[in-house]
Structure 1
Amino acid sequence: MTYLAHGGRAQLGALWLGCVGWTLTAVALGLIQWRVWLVSDREAISSGVAWVGVWRACFNSHTHVTPGFGVMHCEPIGLTEAFTPPEIAAGQVLMLLSLLAGLSGNAGGVYALRSVYFGAERSSSVRLAFVTTGALCLLAAAMSLVPLLWNLSSVATNQTIGFPPEFKMPPAPESQHAGSGIGVGMVGTVLMAVSGVIFCTYRLPARSRHLDSASPERDNPAFESHEHL
């Protein structure tokens, strides 16, 4: 089945892109620097900077310290909390679903490439495996893009969050900007999307298409001529 391997070199690179994109998406989900708040009240927020992530809000403080976080005070953001804005709730759900779809897509890419390089009964099944893999990668990219763009829009319009008193966060920041969490997530999303497109554009080599179209039960004319002799 070496003739199939000749057409899978781009998809091998796509698998690498998909793995890197999935890893960056996972890293972005864990970062707290999605939205960076700049505040003037430094009584609690000593550095004047607070970070709002998908799962928690944090800031450095000399007066309020969370055990295990050094000089940082952090409070978790729950999915069902009344103060949780919809863009952050969407991030918690869609980013996790994106990781699941991306993991399934990368696993499908490994299976498809294994069929290409180690042989498959019918090359048409390889084409289907690549298309399925590409669809999963594109789905993962779409699901992560929604909360990323939504939070970026909230930053651009300086939207505030009504945190409860125990968060020690001000009612509104003086200004805010997008943090590294959104940037890392965007890069991961782009890589997943490019990976999905490359997987979907896989085409069977001409020789493979010809062999698949030929019927395996067709009699060999040369063999028949020897039979008559």
Structure 2
Amino acid sequence: MTYLAHTAHLQFGGLWLACIGWTLTAMALGFIQWRVWQVSNTEVITSGVAWIGIWRACFNSHTEVTGGFRTMHCSYISLTEENTPPEIAAGQVLMLLSLLVGLCGNAGGIYSMRNAYFGVKKNSCVCVGFISTGALFLLAAGMSLIPLLWNLSSVVANRTIEFPPEFKLPESPESQHVGSGIWVGMVGASLMVSAGIIFCSYRLPVKSQPSIQPSLKQQLEQDSHGGAIVSGGKDNPAFESDEHL
């Protein structure tokens, strides 16, 4: 059993990034501000602004209640409706799958960190666990990026949505811009991508081979075969001068 806690500090930070990214992805899933529409008809839509998410379309209105009070009117966007745009339908499915896969990645990351800090019999289990966790994070980020980028391109291209009459929304807005839901989801996906790369880059430490020093007897035998005996002393210059006399 090898101590590997000192090799997994970067992965520990990556796990925190993944947790934050997963939380932001969950927040983006519930936001209604994916696409913000500016509309001219203010009789029903009092503020002139409508918010389109992947689950609901909402706007502020004072005609829904009496006394001039303002309330938010929301309509549920169904996956099975014919008028539901494909980018919104894809967002409903892929964002939920991204949350599920990201949750599995977080669980795998915690288990892998536990193996690294407390030790296992086989070091390869730690490496495989980290790489599998990184792959789950990358897969979760990819699933969320598809609908996020798809809806982003729809806003940039100013595409319209044919809502049913009960939604009380116009067929097309005067203008539209990207809402906070897409930006929050993009940040969350970026954090999960970073965490996935960190986990996949984990490598086991290289074991250093111990150097084998020959014994004194072996050194003497090698020196005798070589015809010389290695001595660690120095020549005495006084003795050499006496020999020349």
TM-score bracket for this pair, using the shorter chain length: 0.7 to 0.9
User: Is 2:50 the partner of 1:59?
Assistant: no
Q: Which secondary structure does the structure 1 equivalent of 2:7 belong to? A: coil
TM-score (norm 2): 0.82
Within a 5 Å distance, the mapping from 1:179-194 to structure 2 comes to 179-194=179-194
1:12-60 alpha-carbon deviations (Å, 9 max, x no partner): 0000000000000000000000000000110110000000001000000
Change (3 A) 1:2 1:124: closer
Other-structure match for 1:91:
91
The 4+ residue runs of structure 1 with deviation greater than 2 A are 207-210
Contact 2:2 2:123 in 1 (8 A): no
Change (3 A) 1:153 1:44: same
Letter aligned with residue 137 of structure 2: C
Contact 1:3 1:205 in 2 (8 A): no
Unaligned runs of 5+ residues in structure 1 are 211-229
- 1:94 is displaced (CA, Å) by 0.3
Q: Distance in 1 between matches of 2:170 and 2:209?
A: 65
Q: What is the number of residues matched between the two proteins?
A: 206
Q: Distance in 2 between matches of 1:95 and 1:140?
A: 9
Other-structure match for 1:9:
9
Letter aligned with residue 54 of structure 2: V
Q: CA RMSD in A?
A: 1.6
User: Is 2:160 the partner of 1:160?
Assistant: yes
Higher relative contact order, structure no. (Cα contacts within 8 Å, ≥ 6 residues apart): 1
- 1:6 is displaced (CA, Å) by 1.1
Change (3 A) 1:209 1:86: farther
Unaligned runs of 5+ residues in structure 2 are 211-245
Q: Distance in 2 between matches of 1:15 and 1:172?
A: 43
Q: Which secondary structure does the structure 1 equivalent of 2:188 belong to? A: helix
Q: Which secondary structure does the structure 2 equivalent of 1:206 belong to? A: coil
Q: Distance in 2 between matches of 1:63 and 1:37?
A: 19
Change (3 A) 1:208 1:140: farther
Contact 2:61 2:71 in 1 (8 A): yes
Other-structure match for 1:205:
205
Contact 1:36 1:179 in 2 (8 A): yes
TM-score (norm 1): 0.87
